[in-house]
């Protein structure tokens, strides 16, 4: 393949192994250079160049800020201008989502604490200057899902409770700070290293977006019947360095409600998953937050690891 032949020569690559993981359409490879250095290569369509450059720049900032993430090595255009590529260091370890079942509840909680501390560090990276207020950026997304739900045949038991909750509590979005977000901070993008540390990979979800840092803690994928409760409880505690403010739970419930409604609408719109996944996620949100009457979710372990 011509594109890889030129990159091999430019970076003295001697071995190149395809990686068939992830959801993006990028081509990914594990490579080794002539001097024995292992690297990660990602090749994308040239139309993605500005997006990839932004991802690369933010990964570089995170690396320079002390986050354990692959060291950026190079970014460029290849394939006679048809493709772009990024090259970064190789982070040794195992995908945390794959080793999760082998860990004890205490180990999961401890790793959650570390993940929360790392995420707080990532969120010290600033948002773009002169951007819109967060409420002005986010609530139109909320209203768009509400309109879709109200005008389509899709319905979920007590779904109107979530719609009403999102409308009545939009003030939660007021005066929220905005920072850089990783974009997809979960077990699947965390590496468990040989010395039991956490490395962060795949800033690919970064889509020139930024926003309320607390929203990133609230992300629970559609179809997950419950979060990894010990890890997620630990991550919340680690992020806040101990006791989290009550306002966090208000926003957790709000973003979770939006996530449930979005999952339901998007599965029916054919974005991803099946409608039954969306319905189940909506029902989970209602159950966790007692039909949106309690902002502290039922899965949160209030006593686990609490300071004496």
The candidate with the shortest Cα–Cα distance to 265, out of 146, 107, 182, 173, is 146
pLDDT value of position 2: 60
Same domain, 280 and 169: yes
Cα 143 to Cα 276: distance, rounded to the nearest angstrom = 23
Whether residue 216 is contained in a domain is answered as yes
Task: For the beta carbon of residue 247, count every other beta carbon within 10 angstroms.
Answer: 12
Same domain, 66 and 115: no
Looking at the predicted structure, is the pLDDT value of residue 199 above 50? yes
Whether residue 66 is contained in a domain is answered as yes
**How many structural domains compose the chain?**
2
Q: Which helix (H) or strand (E) holds 63?
A: helix 49-64
How distant, in Å, are the alpha carbons of 4, 102, 129 from that of 116? 38, 21, 26
Same domain, 58 and 204: no
Range of the domain at 149: 94-288
Whether residue 296 is contained in a domain is answered as no
Residue 65, classed as helix, strand or coil, is coil
Whether residue 210 is contained in a domain is answered as yes
Q: Are 210 and 179 in contact (CB under 8 A)?
A: yes
Same domain, 169 and 238: yes
Same domain, 233 and 121: yes
Q: How confident is the model at residue 105 (pLDDT cuts 50, 70, 90)?
A: very high
Q: Are 12 and 33 in contact (CB under 8 A)?
A: yes
Same domain, 162 and 208: yes
CA pseudo-torsion sign 284, 285, 288, 293:
negative
pLDDT tens digit string along 157-173? Answer: 788 999 999 999 999 99
Same domain, 26 and 172: no
Judged by phi (left if over 0) then psi (alpha if -120 to 50, else beta), residue 81 lies in left
Whether residue 298 is contained in a domain is answered as no
Whether residue 47 is contained in a domain is answered as yes
pLDDT tens digit string along 222-263? Answer: 556 677 889 999 999 999 997 889 999 999 999 999 999 998
pLDDT value of position 308: 31
- Which of these ranges, 9-13, 127-131, 205-209, has the smallest mean pLDDT? 205-209
Whether residue 299 is contained in a domain is answered as no
Same domain, 58 and 103: no
Tell which of 59, 89, 119 closes a domain: 89
The candidate with the shortest Cα–Cα distance to 74, out of 24, 128, 33, 35, is 33
User: Cβ neighbours of residue 71 under 8 Å, at least 6 residues apart?
Assistant: 63, 88, 89
Q: DSSP code of 97?
A: H
Same domain, 53 and 198: no
Specify the CATH number for the domain of residue 173: 3.90.1200.10
Whether residue 293 is contained in a domain is answered as no
Q: What is the pTM of this model?
A: 0.86
**85 CA to centre of own chain:** 22
pLDDT value of position 186: 83
Specify the CATH number for the domain of residue 61: 3.30.200.20
**97 CA to centre of own chain:** 13
């Amino acid at each position: 393949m011509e594109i890889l032949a030129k990159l091999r020569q430019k970076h003295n690559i001697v071995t190149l192994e395809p990686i068939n993981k992830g959801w993006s359409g990028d081509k990914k490879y594990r490579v080794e250079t002539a001097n024995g250095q292992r690297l990660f290569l990602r090749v994308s369509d040239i139309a993605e160049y500005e997006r990839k450059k932004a991802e690369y720049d933010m990964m570089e900032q995170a690396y320079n800020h002390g986050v354990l993430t692959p060291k950026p090595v190079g970014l460029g255009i290849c394939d006679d201008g048809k493709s772009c590529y990024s090259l970064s260091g190789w982070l040794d370890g195992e995908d945390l989502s794959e080793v999760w079942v082998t860990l004890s509840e205490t180990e999961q909680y401890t790793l959650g604490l570390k993940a929360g501390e790392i995420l707080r560090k990532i969120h010290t990276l600033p948002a773009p200057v002169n951007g819109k207020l967060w409420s002005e950026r986010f609530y139109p997304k909320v209203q768009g899902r509400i309109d879709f739900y109200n005008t389509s045949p899709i319905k979920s038991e007590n779904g109107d409770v979530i719609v009403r909750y999102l409308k009545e509590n939009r003030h939660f979005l007021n005066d929220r700070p905005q920072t850089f977000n990783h974009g997809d901070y979960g077990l699947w993008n965390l590496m468990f290293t040989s010395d039991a540390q956490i490395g962060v990979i795949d800033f690919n979800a970064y889509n020139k977006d930024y926003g309320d840092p607390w929203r990133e803690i609230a992300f629970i994928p559609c179809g997950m019947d419950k979060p990894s409760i010990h890890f997620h409880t630990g991550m919340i505690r680690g992020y806040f360095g101990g006791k989290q403010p009550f306002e966090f739970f208000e926003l957790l419930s709000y973003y979770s409600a939006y996530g449930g409604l979005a999952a339901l609408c998007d599965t029916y719109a054919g974005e991803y998953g099946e409608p039954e996944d969306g319905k189940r996620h909506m029902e989970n949100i209602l159950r966790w937050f007692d039909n949106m009457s309690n902002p502290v979710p039922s899965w949160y372990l209030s006593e686990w690891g609490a300071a004496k």
